[in-house]
Amino acid sequence: MGSHMAITETPEQVANPPRIYTMTAADRCDQCGARAYVRATMHSLSELTLCGHHGREHEATLRPAALDWLDETEALNVRLDVSP
Ligand SMILES: [Zn+2]
């Protein structure tokens, strides 16, 4: 029985390109008017913009029906928006 050598694979150093967020402060949640971080493009090509809260809330129903689902809620963690 050969001893199992730990195979140390050196993963390629994947440079982390800075994520470009396309949602801006001008994008507002259709439901509550808060800043939107989720954009759902429907088959009718109409777009729904939702805040992180409503994006999560409607994801289960909207996402399967959406043509495209853009989720930039992680921008919430990047930009330390201090909301009063
Ligand atoms: Zn909302």
Concatenating the DSSP letter of every residue in 42-57 gives: ETTS-EEEE-HHHHHH
- Is residue 17 domain-resident? no
Q: How far is the CA of 58 from the centre of ligand 1 (A)?
A: 10
Instruction: Report the separation in Å between the CA atom of 26 and the middle of ligand 1, taken as the mean of its atom positions.
Output: 14
Provide the whole-model pTM: 0.69
CA–centroid distance, residue 38 to ligand 1 (Å) = 10
In angstroms, what is the span from residue 19 Cα to ligand 1's centroid? Answer: 23
What is the pLDDT tens value at each position of the chain, 84 positions in all?
556 666 665 555 567 767 788 999 999 999 999 999 999 999 999 999 999 999 999 999 999 999 999 999 988 776 555 555
- Give domain status of residue 50, yes or no: yes
Q: How far is the CA of 17 from the centre of ligand 1 (A)?
A: 29
19 inside domain: no
15 in any annotated domain: no
| Domain count along the chain | 1
CA-to-CA separations, 36 to 2, 16, 23, 64, 73, in angstroms, rounded:
56, 25, 7, 19, 8
Quote the domain boundaries for residue 65: 26-84
DSSP state, residue 58: H
